[in-house]
Amino acid sequence: MAYWRPANAIVPDTPYPFAYRLTWPNDAPTRTGGLARVIRSAHGMALQTGHPQYVIDYALPKDRSADSIRANVAVSQGKLIDEVVQPNPATGGFRVFVTIDPQQAEQIELSVRPFDESGPVGETWLYRWSRA
């Protein structure tokens, strides 16, 4: 999924030119500027609470360690219940768990950005949750 907002408002009945490039997981560009790359994400319901939960797996460049990584998680509505970052030995990277309570929201924009004491260490993962 992709989300964007043009710099200027779109005027009805007026052409608006734009361009974009689509990639699929197996052919996405691999240059990430040394940042950890999202290799998989999944969602379901948290066992204890039944709230929506997301799991994001990141692959780390070989010269980095997952030990001090934290996640900056933002939700546009509802409530962030929990976030957990842990090393993932299966991938050599790390895994981020995010649990939210939508409360009365119909849609929620989620973003996850891993960081450590030096700043961002991974790609930003974006997702739009919707009740429908």
Over residues 73-82, the pLDDT tens digits come to 999 999 999 9
Residue 23 one-letter amino acid = T
Q: For residues 40 and 36, what is the distance between their CA atoms, to the nearest angstrom?
A: 12
Indicate the domain borders of the chain.
Answer: 37-130
- Please, what is the average pLDDT of the chain? 87
Model confidence at 57, pLDDT cuts 50, 70, 90, reads: very high
Cα distance between the two ends of the chain = 16
Residues, the chain, total? 132
| Residue whose tokens read 């919707």 | 130
Q: Count the neighbouring beta carbons within 10 Å of the beta carbon of residue 127.
A: 17
Residue 57 near residue 91 (C-beta atoms within 8 A):
yes
Burial per residue of 92-116, b for 16 or more beta-carbon CB atoms within 10 angstroms, e otherwise: ebbbbbbbbbbeebeebebebbbee
DSSP bridge partners of 94:
58, 87
Q: What is the CATH number of domain 37-130?
A: 2.60.40.10
Q: What's 122's DSSP letter?
A: B
pTM of the model: 0.74
The pLDDT value recorded for residue 31 is: 59
